[in-house]
Amino acid sequence: MERIIYNSKNKIYKNPFGALPTEESCTFSIDILKSEEPLEVFFSYRKDAAADPCYVNMDYVCETGDYLRFSCRLSFSASGLYFYRFEFSYPGGKRFCGKKDGTAFIEDWLDEWQLTVYDKGFQTPEWAKGAVMYQIFPDRFCRSDNYMPQTAKNERKIHESWFEVPDFIYDNPEYKGNDFFCGNLKGIAERIDYIKSLGVDVIYLNPIFESPENHRYSTADYTKVDPYLGTNEDFKELCSRFREAGIRVILDGVFSHTGADSIYFNKFGHYDSIGAWQGSASPYYNWYQFNDSEIGYDCWWGFETLPNVNETEPDFLNFITGEEGVLSYWQDLGASGWRLDVADELPDGFLDALRNRVKQTDPDALIIGEVWEDATNKFAYGVRRRYLLGNQLDSVMNYPWRNAVIDYVKTGGAKLFCSRITEIMENYPAPVLNCLMNILSTHDTERIINVLGVTHNVAHSEAAEYHLTEEEYNRGKAGFMAAAFLQFALPGIPSIYYGDEAGLTGFRDPYCRMGFPYGREDFELIDFFQGLGKLRKQYREDFSMPAECFAAGEHTVIFTRGALLFAINMGSYEEIVKLSSDFVTIYGGEHINFQNNMLALPEHTFVALKKEGQNMVENKEK
């Protein structure tokens, strides 16, 4: 019998569940075995790095079988990250209760529980909650014949065939990332009906600003669309057309570095400006940090084509976040928000100013940060980051979610999956949860079909020539469909990386950036995604509601949202779930037996149901 019982994910012990707004009260309760009865019970908490904890006396409430329950209720006036545990006073001294592997234990040195406290006024855009995203790498999505690439200031190569493999160092040791397929903004606009058919509400464009490289993360001019993509007027028209179709456009903001081949640095003299490379007479000189290294200046992760900027240098800060700065300029042209590249490398002062400007220009704009870890407790460059407390980001790219989904699809471990998903829901503020960018593939990762279909290591030097076998493709496709079912059902914005929905494959950069497979699409997959998109549209109100996730078997996961229930079994044998309400099938379930409230889920199947009664699941484990 356990000596103590505490579960932060259960409202019996912590109510309300999850992150807490400032000034809202929360009740903490703990059950202690009668034989362990202490003299006093304390709730001990500290704000992040504070050395000395605060103590709150917990009152005896009642008996619960063999246990005594103690509770306290408190609120927090200041936003931040808090850590807590329990302390028991005995005649011979104190004992401490912390967590080990998520379970409460009595030992001296254990992990504490995290409590995220966010600003009570924190709001995120309503339009983003329940939305579907489509991510486009502009050079590789669609090339319209109605726009021809304009003259660029630097050397560029244009691929003859749309289906060629992108160049890389294994083809050319002097590779510069300057091979282009000439996808453009007009091409994106011409695909509006297709994008809309997927149920998309927002498009995220990888960088579109002028740049010498196809990925365009080496910005040459923040005020101009790259000449191979189109013009600023083309962008304005693109946003207008998509907005009329009910679809918004957000841009990739790359503000931690610029390109060396840019109007600001001008290392190669391609611009008429006096760049920072030309010396201290340049108006941009103070943006950069020069040194006596072999390269001569600080650069992003050692890439000399990407000189770092000092984001809080007053002139640069004003250039980006000022009243007439870069942010306002593109939002005025139609952008509905930003995805911030390497957000953990952007200092707090810059992010504070960025949010102020973005929201002043458009209170409904969305701000998403690239963060690869749990963004609520991220520690970077010597400081705890406060991205999601109410004064910086609205959302982040949800890599912890991606990792949990991939592991579950591969191994079928239901309990571990639910624990990981529930931890995300526990740590992230409620305004953030339905705006989280839930990804399976991106421009920085392998295509999801490769991840789930190829079971052996493929050297990067061999990736360009590797073609998935039929078995690998089918395995990856089946796993992808299961992962996408989770992606569209769980809290957050499901983000489709262009071409995934059509069966596009590829290993990591640059092979995850192939051209959209026109004429070679997997239409079964496209139909599948169109069905998921329709489901989100039809039940959008439910998809904006809180979710609960349960392990209903060794490999079966059940989660609920509003009146909807979703079930998935990633095991290798059938599992049966007993439901205590009546349901009707609304998605999937062609081979699933559902009679007398008994749901029999065959291996590797999933189904969405709509509740007709009240209580939903009888055998459930959070």
Taking the C-alpha atoms of residue 276 and residue 261, their distance in angstroms, rounded to an integer, is 11
Is residue 548 within 8 A of residue 560, CB to CB? The reply is yes
Burial class (CB in 10 A: 0-12, 13-18, 19+), 92: exposed
User: What's the half-sphere exposure (Cβ side, CA atoms, 13 Å) at 22?
Assistant: 12
- Alpha-carbon distance values, 261 to 176, 178, 266, 325 (Å): 12, 12, 5, 21
- Of 388, 387, 384, 416, which Cα lies nearest the Cα of 403? 416
Determine whether 341 is an active site residue: yes
**Amino acid in position 331:** Q
Determine whether 370 is an active site residue: yes
For the chain, how far is it from start to end, CA to CA, in angstroms? 20
Of residues 341, 344, 446, 472, which has the active-site annotation?
341
- Alpha-carbon distance values, 197 to 225, 246, 480, 607 (Å): 27, 12, 20, 22
Burial class (CB in 10 A: 0-12, 13-18, 19+), 622: middle
The pairs formed by 556-562 with CB atoms below 8 angstroms and a separation of 24 or more are 556/414, 556/601, 557/408, 557/414, 557/417, 557/418, 558/616, 558/617, 558/620, 559/421, 559/489, 559/490, 560/611, 560/616, 560/617, 561/489, 561/491
The torsion angles phi and psi of 524, rounded to 5 degrees, stand at -65, -40
Q: Which two tokens stand for residue 246?
A: 């009910």
3-class secondary-structure state, position 333 = helix
Is residue 87 within 8 A of residue 42, CB to CB? The reply is yes
Looking up tokens 């914005």 gives 493
Taking the C-alpha atoms of residue 369 and residue 378, their distance in angstroms, rounded to an integer, is 12
Q: What's the DSSP call for residue 111?
A: B
Looking up tokens 């200031």 gives 153
Taking the C-alpha atoms of residue 522 and residue 529, their distance in angstroms, rounded to an integer, is 11
**Amino acid in position 123:** Q
- Of 440, 576, 567, which Cα lies nearest the Cα of 512? 440
Of residues 226, 370, 500, 542, which has the active-site annotation?
370
Q: What's the DSSP call for residue 619?
A: S
Which residues are CB-contacts of 323 (< 8 A; sequence separation ≥ 6)?
357
Taking the C-alpha atoms of residue 255 and residue 309, their distance in angstroms, rounded to an integer, is 8
Is residue 453 within 8 A of residue 468, CB to CB? The reply is yes
Residues pairing with 21 in the sheet: 118
The torsion angles phi and psi of 563, rounded to 5 degrees, stand at -90, 10
Is residue 267 within 8 A of residue 260, CB to CB? The reply is yes
Residues marked active site are found at 341, 370
